[in-house]
Structure 1
Amino acid sequence: MNFLGVIGYLIQSSGLEELLSEASILLPGTAKKAMVGKPFYRCVRAHLIVLEALSGLHWNSFESYCISSCTGSSVFDDIAGIIASATDGRLIQVELSTHLNSLTSPIAEFDNSINTYPTSKLWLQYIRMVLIMLQCLLADRCGNWDLHLKAIRMMPPFMASTGHNKYAIYLTMYLQDMERVPEQLREQLLQGHITVERSVGSDNAVSPDHALESSLNLEAKQKGGIKGLTLNGTAVAK
């Protein structure tokens, strides 16, 4: 996914590469490759670990902010009470969702208050980019067409800011084309016919491009495939 390279480009020289290496999340060579988005699965795993750590720090700071400003402190008390008295897993999920939704505005206010600091602004932007990447992956795994388009719509500005101008242009054109698809095709897309499932199960699909790169293209690039074929005069003559 090219967007992983965009994340790495914007976060380079932040110390993330050294952090991934020193924390033994990735080997030094792999950590360097992760800044350009490769290898795919290791890169995604590394960003997930960093996102979890940053989200925890962000939440702790937000909680302190709410307590000091008396904003949303009652919501924290309600959440703690729900967890303490929980007996039904599904019931607690519904109740927590209601209370957590009420924190949307306070969190936005908190983010705006710290967005004036360069370091905070950098890591908030990193969190946002990783969440966009995860939305795109989730859409592929589940075949969720609307979520796929939502994630793609948020990518062009980041593509353009990192010099991936062609990606920014063609993603915009892609979105425009998808708005004009025939109704019959749109119904198929909404049913999840946008991904490829290579094994039995649920929520394990991948994008067609990913499936192609990890199957036919991968085999063609190995020994005996098309790699170096044009350098063989006899093969070209055939």
Structure 2
Amino acid sequence: MYEAAAVFHRPPHVLPPESGTLIQYVADNADINVNTLDDNNTLHIMGIIQIVTPKHSVLLEEPMPRIKETLSANDFKAKAHVPIQTYTNDGVVGYSKINFKDFVYGTKTVSFLKKADVIWFYGKWENESLPGWNGFIERLTNNHTNYSKSQISFLPFIYQPASNYNTIYTTLLCALENAKRYGHTVCIVTFDQPLYAREIVSAAPEGSELSKIIIRLGGFHLLMSFMGAIGHIMQGSGMKEVLAEIYASKSLEKMFNGHAYARAVRAHTLLQLTLAIVILKEVEMNNIMDADLIINIEHILEYEERGPTAKLWIQYFCMVSIAKEFLRAERMGDWKAHLNCVKEMLPYFHASGHFPYAKSTHLYLQDMKQLQNLMDPEVYKKFSGGFFTVRRSGKLSCGTSTDMVIEQSMMKAMKTDGGIARGRSTKESVISKWVYSMHAMNTVCDKLEDIANVRMDTTEQHVDASDLRVKKMLETYEDF
């Protein structure tokens, strides 16, 4: 009955943009395997979440009145039913209205963070007990803890396959209406590449509300594709044989195509560290904090002249640096570094045959560079100042890509105990009750954690800084 009361209770109110609030929406395909016996009749629907930053801009309506009568399944179904809107563009091809622009390549992003990389390489060379890369960055930034957290809410599912144009069109309209309900004129929607809705927005009449929707390309899936590009370029280099000393052979294929995300990030970080230590042995240095050290490290590019093999591995070193810089930009909310990394990724997408991502990434970068001219100045200041990433704690280096958030929240909740894919029915009325009551259930969990003084969403120590992980990293490095 508590779930039923939450469904029909007034939803939480979101403060208007004048208060410094930013709303983002993320949509992704949600698959529910109904028949696990034969794998037939899988339910394909579109899942949507709403991300509000800062968290305190979401005002919960209390108290919640009791439900005194039993409600029917039709009542719940009607509450969350989203009517499908038919997409008609009158023969207009969206991409034909877009002028593609060239970008200037060759400029590198130089920042304190890349200097920190060099310090980490040197530190691991001199002191093997130093934490892993993630743990090291966490230690450098652990005094910066006053960053805005985000509130994540689930919106009703759209009962059509996500790849259907009508479904994507309906998703955009739902996000637009939801933003207008709270007085927000800026509507930002994130998709991964297969659902990237730039064509639909481009085909909309100029000046219409649909044409003003800002479409973002998910950073998590973008990085997965980039790591797949690295794996493709490095085929036949011997890298797979080296990593086979550490990882199970069956998992290497998924690591090389980027699908085994966490393993791929760790493997590339370790392999780059090994290369860096080999290089550091040839670099003369007296003081690790000397500014000349960075200049000496940049002279590594001269090693390319030693032959094709040297050129290949220097290129690999640069590709991993781009991936790590992109991760830092997402975690720390550095918008400029985010765009610079996206630009640096583009040639590798083309070289590795990742043409869908090459096209979508080019459009995405082109749009985001014009964002300042399309957004309200105050909203853009908040967005580019770090609100484009999602934080669930106040730490600096804990941001998460928006498309990763929907995987970690909605998709994970669907497929764990209590989720709609684990023992519940997939009828629209049941899913409606699950979606609309989730914010109330999460509130109860948060209050229980406060009473018990226990947090389940974060820890004071990064896992890469733990003694066990440092020991494991040392063993792995010795295997190289």
SS of the aligned residue for 2:341 comes to helix
| Conserved 8 A contact 2:304-2:311 | no
Q: CA deviation at 1:119?
A: 1.3
Q: Decide which moves more: 45-54 or 202-211.
A: 202-211
Residue 69 (structure 1) aligns with: none
Counterpart check, 1:27 vs 2:248: yes
TM-score if structure 2 supplies the norm length? 0.38
Q: CA deviation at 1:221?
A: 5.0
Q: In 2, distance between residues paired with 1:52 and 1:207?
A: 25
Q: In 2, distance between residues paired with 1:40 and 1:14?
A: 21
Q: In 1, distance between residues paired with 2:402 and 2:321?
A: 22
Counterpart check, 1:189 vs 2:379: no
| Conserved 8 A contact 2:343-2:365 | yes
Tell me the number of residue pairs that the alignment of Structure 1 and Structure 2 aligns: 201
> After superposition, where does 1:1-238 map in structure 2 within 5 Å?
1-22=224-245, 24=246, 26-61=247-282, 63=283, 76=284, 79-80=285-286, 82=287, 93=289, 96=290, 98-103=291-296, 106-108=299-301, 110-114=302-306, 117-181=307-371, 182=375, 183-220=377-414, 225=420, 235=427
1:162-197 per-residue CA deviation (whole Å, 9 max, x = no partner) reads: 111121111111111112112333312231011111
The structure showing larger relative contact order (alpha-carbon pairs under 8 Å, at least 6 residues apart) is 2
Q: In 2, distance between residues paired with 1:17 and 1:29?
A: 11
Q: In 1, distance between residues paired with 2:311 and 2:305?
A: 10
Q: In 2, distance between residues paired with 1:184 and 1:2?
A: 33
Structure 2 unmatched ranges of 5 or more: 1-223, 431-480
**C-alpha distance 121-152 of structure 1, shift in aligned 2 (>3 A):** same
Q: CA deviation at 1:202?
A: 3.0
Larger relative strand fraction? 2
Q: CA deviation at 1:59?
A: 3.3
Percent sequence identity over matched residues?
31
| Conserved 8 A contact 2:304-2:314 | no
Structure 1 unmatched ranges of 5 or more: 64-75, 84-92
Q: In 2, distance between residues paired with 1:159 and 1:221?
A: 32
Q: In 1, distance between residues paired with 2:401 and 2:299?
A: 36
Q: In 1, distance between residues paired with 2:386 and 2:259?
A: 27
Q: Return the index of the structure with the highest Cα Rg.
A: 2
Larger relative helix fraction? 1
Q: CA RMSD in A?
A: 2.7
Q: In 2, distance between residues paired with 1:180 and 1:111?
A: 38
Q: Decide which moves more: 8-17 or 48-57.
A: 8-17
TM-score if structure 1 supplies the norm length? 0.74
Q: In 1, distance between residues paired with 2:336 and 2:412?
A: 30
**C-alpha distance 121-112 of structure 1, shift in aligned 2 (>3 A):** closer
